[in-house]
Amino acid sequence: MKRLYLIKFVNTDKKIDVTIAENDFIFNELVNNYKVLDYIKLSVNGYTYTDRREEARSLAIAAQAFDSDTDFQFSYFELMKISNCFEKIGKQYGLLKEFRENAIC
């Protein structure tokens, strides 16, 4: 699965903004050129299927809370990319119904 990062950073206007990075190169460019406040790497790790399934659940919760505490938002395109990422994760770990019920994908 392709890596996807959710990034909270300070833009050139000194305002907090959010975006996504679809690979390590883009992520590193953002880190080098902006002050990154927080980020989440949407990739599932673990030794067993159960560990990876729980990690997927935790990632979904973290992603939902990522921009909920502030007044900035992801664009519709970014939300679509995030939703597609969680749809793939949900299919892989049998969490698709749960993710859809919680409006994650």
User: Helix or strand or coil: residue 11?
Assistant: coil
Q: Which of 99, 92, 93 is nearest to 60 (CA)?
A: 99
3-state secondary structure of 13: coil
- Given a contact cutoff of 8 angstroms between Cβ atoms, the answer to whether 8 and 67 are in contact is yes
Return the biggest CA–CA distance within the chain: 45
Residue 9 β-bridge partners: 17, 36
Q: Identify whether the C-beta of residue 36 lies closer than 8 Å to the C-beta of residue 27.
A: no
pTM (2 d.p.): 0.82
Beta carbons within 10 angstroms of residue 57's beta carbon: 19
**Whole-number pLDDT of residue 1:** 54
pLDDT in tens, 53-73: 999 999 999 988 887 766 677
pLDDT value of residue 25:
92
Mean pLDDT within 70-81: 83
Q: Give the model's pLDDT for residue 71.
A: 67
Residues paired with 39 in a beta bridge: 7
Share of the chain above pLDDT 90, in %: 58
No. of helices (H) and no. of strands (E), the chain: 4, 3
Say which amino acid occupies 80: M
Q: What is the mean pLDDT of residues 12-36?
A: 91
Give residue 50's pLDDT: 92
